[in-house]
Amino acid sequence: MLKERLGKEVLYFDGGMGTLLQEKGLQAGELPEIWNLTHMEEVIEIHRDYFEAGSDIVLTNTFGANALKFQDSEYELEDIVTAAVIHVKEAAYLGVHDDREVYTALDIGPTGKLLKPMGDLDFEDAYQAFAQVMRWGEAAGADLIHIETMSDTYEMKAAVLAAKEQTSLPVFATMIFDEKGRLLTGADVRSAMAMLEGLGVDALGINCGLGPEQMLPIFQEIVSHTSLPVIVKPNAGLPKQKDGAVYYDVTPKEFVRVMEKIVDGGAAVIGGCCGTTPGHIRNMTESFGRRAVKKVDHKEETVVSSYGAAVVLDDCPVVIGERINPTGKKRLKQALKEQDFDYILKEGIRQQELGAQILDVNVGLPDIDETAMMREAVSRLQSITSLPLQIDTVDPEALESAMRIYNGKPMVNSVSGKQESMDQVFPLVKKYGGVVVGLTLDESGIPDTAEGRIRIAGKIIKEAEKYGIRKKDLVIDVLTMTVSSDPGSARVTLDALRGVKEKFGVATVLGVSNISFGLPNRAALNANFYTMALEAGLDAGIINPASEDMMCSYRSFLALTGQDPNFEGYIGQYGGTEASETGKKHPETSGEMPLEAAIEKGMKKEAAWAAEQLLKEQDSLSIINRYLIPALDRVGKGFEKGTVFLPQLLMSADAAKQAFSVLKEAMPAQEEGEKDRPKVILATVKGDIHDIGKNIVKVLLENYSFDVLDLGKDVPPEDILKKAVDEDVKLVGLSALMTTTVASMEETIRLLRREKPDCRVMVGGAVLNQEYADMIGADFYGKDAMQSVYYAQEIFHQI
Amino acid sequence: MDKRTGEAVRYLGYGNHAVDEDTLGLIEASFSELSETAKKRIVYRIFELQTPDDEQVIIGNYLVKSRNLARNLQGCEKVVLLGATLGAGVDLLLRRYALTEVARAAVMQACAAADLEEYLDEWQEGFKKKMAKEGWYLRPRFSPGYGDFSILCQEQILRMLDAAKRIGLTMTDSYMLTPTKSVTALIGLGRENTLCGKGGCEECEKTDCVYRRST
Return the pLDDT at A589.
42
Task: Tell me how crowded residue A779 is: count the other CB atoms within 10 A of its CB.
Answer: 17
CB contact under 8 A, B87 and A689: no
| Chain B contact set for A342 (CB, 8 A) | 99
In angstroms, the CA B13 to CA B32 distance is: 21
Strand partners for A230? A204
- pLDDT tens digits along A721-735: 999 999 999 999 999
Q: Give dist(CA A239, CA A209) in Å, integer.
A: 8
Identity of the residue in A114, A119, A692 whose CB atom sits nearest the CB atom of B98: A692
Extract the runs of DSSP E, i.e. beta strands, from A192-233.
Answer: 203-207, 230-233
Are B185 and B154 in contact by the 8 Å Cβ rule? The answer is no
A288-302 residue pLDDT tens: 999 999 988 888 899
CA nearest to A652, candidates B22, B181, B111: B22
Give the pLDDT confidence score for residue A44 in this predicted structure: 98
Write down the ipTM of this complex.
0.90
- Asked if residue A759 lies in contact with residue A789, where contact means CB atoms within 8 angstroms, the answer is no
Going from N- to C-terminal start, the domains of chain B cover 3-197
A552 labeled part of a ligand binding site: no
Higher pLDDT, A743 or A667: A743
Nearest CA in chain B to A27: B61
- Which CA distances in Å does A21 have to A47, A275, A656? 11, 11, 62
Tens digits of per-residue pLDDT, A592-649?
679 999 999 999 999 999 999 999 999 988 999 999 999 999 999 999 888 999 999 9
A343: closest chain B residue by CA: B99
| Cα separation, A149 vs A109, whole angstroms | 6
Query: How close does chain B come to A527, measured CA to CA in Å?
Result: 29
Report the DSSP beta bridge partners of residue B42: B84
> Which tens digit of pLDDT belongs to each residue from A62-88?
999 999 888 767 899 999 999 999 999
3-state secondary structure A530-563: HHHHHHCCCCEEEECCCCHHHHHHHHHHHHHCCC
User: CA–CA separation, B215 vs A793, rounded Å?
Assistant: 39
For the CA atoms of B165, B168, B169, B170, the dihedral, rounded to the nearest 10 degrees, stands at 70
**Residue A716 buriedness (CB in 10 A; 0-12 / 13-18 / 19+):** middle
CB contact under 8 A, B12 and A645: yes
- Give the distance from CA A782 to its chain's centroid: 35
Q: Look at residue B97 and tell me whether its pLDDT is greater than 50.
A: yes
Q: Say yes or no to pLDDT of A424 above 80.
A: yes
Mean pLDDT calculated for residue range A203-211: 96
Per-residue confidence (pLDDT) for residue B203, from 0 to 100: 64
Q: Is the pLDDT of residue B45 over 60?
A: yes
Nearest CA in chain A to B95: A384
Q: Do A642 and B17 touch (CB under 8 A)?
A: yes
Q: Which domains does chain A have, with CATH numbers?
A: 2-288 (3.20.20.330), 303-574 (3.20.20.20), 595-670 (1.10.1240.10), 677-798 (3.40.50.280)
User: For B3-197, which CATH class?
Assistant: alpha beta
Give a three-class secondary structure readout of A122-183. Answer: CHHHHHHHHHHHHHHHHHHCCCEEEEEEECCHHHHHHHHHHHHHHCCCCEEEEECCCCCCEC
Q: Are A586 and B29 inside 8 Å of each other by CB?
A: yes
How many CB contacts within 8 angstroms connect chain A with chain B?
177
**Is pLDDT above 60 for A767?**
yes
3-state secondary structure A43-84: HHHHHHHHHHHCCCEEECCCCCCCCCCCCCCCCCHHHHHHHH
A29: left (phi over 0), alpha (psi -120 to 50) or beta: left
Q: Are strands B76-85 and B182-190 parallel, antiparallel or unpaired?
A: antiparallel
CA distances to A56, A66, A182, A240 from B162, rounded to whole Å, are: 28, 16, 19, 14
| Per-residue three-class SS string for A315-361 | CCCEEEEEEECCCCCHHHHHHHHCCCHHHHHHHHHHHHHHCCCEEEE
Which residue from A223, A387, A424 is spatially nearest to A304, judged by alpha carbons? A387
Mean pLDDT of the A679-704 span: 93
How far apart, in whole angstroms, are the C-alpha atoms of residue A285 and residue A377? 50
The answer to whether B105 and A654 have CB atoms below 8 angstroms apart is: no
Supply the pLDDT for residue B131.
93
In sequence order, which ranges of A561-592 are alpha helices (DSSP H)? 568-574
Residues of A in contact with B62 (CB under 8 A): 29
Confidence check: pLDDT of A591 > 60: no
Q: Is the pLDDT of residue A583 over 70?
A: no
Buried b (16+ CB within 10 A) or exposed e, B172-186: bbbbbbbbbbbbbbb
- Of the candidates B13, B26, B176, the beta carbon closest to that of A689 is on B176
Q: A695 vs B62: CB contact, 8 Å cut-off?
A: no
* Integer CA distances (angstroms), A328 to A497, A512, A513, in order: 27, 15, 12
